[in-house]
Structure 1
């Protein structure tokens, strides 16, 4: 079993007050100490980086994919990646667009530094190793192990910035529970595993900003975007993917210029629609103006999918096709 690490709280140390956690190279022993927690599973550890997760870049994840594939093809039953929790759900989602092995790739991390009372890193790492070694989850792609639960990469979301039970799956709850050496499946995915977008994750992705349009906001900021400055745009709308009527011409100008515009919603459940409302700024109106609806994808996922689709080539048409499986 191979454990890869990108850093995060699991490899951080807090000061004497119990706060101000910072990266600590000495805490690589966290991975080494996991061996005692999983007797019978030989572990090897390789550090990719030791950074806070807001500083994780596509190049880091490209290195993770390369190292993980090498490990699996050399005989590893699965691969574990430790990662900071701030962007863990984003990395899991993006990695799942490219992971093409049956062996599990399981992300985990911690909410408490390694030297904190009740540090959750060791237990999470143990559970991730157990999951990565389990035949029960082979072929299910990238997973997240946290606080005794196992989540699908495309469903997991960070629901708390403080609790050790930080992650949840929307909708439907976790995929499995990890109890000691047992991985107990609670359900199996109904949808087939997504087809990988390509063999290699690019070391950089096209520039796709995210803009939220709320009450009284007509998207005036869009007037300041120079032609060619962005490769695509994700809009966080309201309800089922709605914006104000005055914002529509601004979005239409982008789509007419060949810039893909994807509309997501700020609502945590239910996603966007394609057919419920037909008025200026509604989803039906926006689709008619060339926008694509994010469907069940959250804004952060929509951004990553649009970036990956554009990086794969094909322009606006290919980008729209990438979102078709998530439409609702």
Structure 2
């Protein structure tokens, strides 16, 4: 098993019940989560040693975050306490043809307001195999763009493989801002979660003019790797949205100049889509740490993402054996 560090903001999510809009809501379900924290939980579920670095307020909410991470086996020795508040967001659950909608309330959070690095980076990355961060962290502020680069450079210097999930959020920064940052960070990255829209909108790669999903994804993966040959593995999901409640999900990967694709998962109904991409990234990193074949890696990761859609909350709640059983037995069958 491997040793992994993830770093980012963890927030409190307030979700409406299906069929209830935020202006009419009288109660909310609450869950703790964030891109890098969700990946940490997935990897801890699979038996890896995982440390999550962040900052939360020194109050009951900060303590609740710590307990949330610890219950899944995530090491929180690098979880800092201080600052004014825990970032929050509100999710209006989608259903049928109505998509979900998010309202952020995270400005001035303990993590977002950090002005300097408060971790001992040499200690943080000692003996670490992979450092994982997403594009959500540098999207928080100009200061965090500089800090994120400093952290990645130190992780690289320490011998870590760098995992980066583009994870573009249009409500946090513009395509131009994100694209500029990608040109700065991608030269340090080893494993990258980036899809066709990231290639087109953020990296300004010309649109594919042919037909066929495999050919299209091969085109974008090849174009991205030509610009950043240091990146050994690209991966992403291809999602067909029949409705907010029914999706089809396929995982794709580009490694060693070969294209790999998972089976198609029909997710019907979706219980909670939030965190599906993080479960996918966690599955990929788990397989890379285990040195699985790329074919096995993409199938495992996509199955993990499909399973995440079946439970409430931001994080994956399944271990390695449960994901493998799901792949073996198929959807909907009772495991006795």
More helix by share: 2
Taking structure 1 as the reference length, what is the TM-score of the superposition? 0.32
User: Quick check: which has more Rg, 1 or 2?
Assistant: 1
Question: 1 or 2 for the larger relative contact order (CA 8 Å, sep ≥6)?
Answer: 2
TM-score, normalising length: structure 2: 0.31
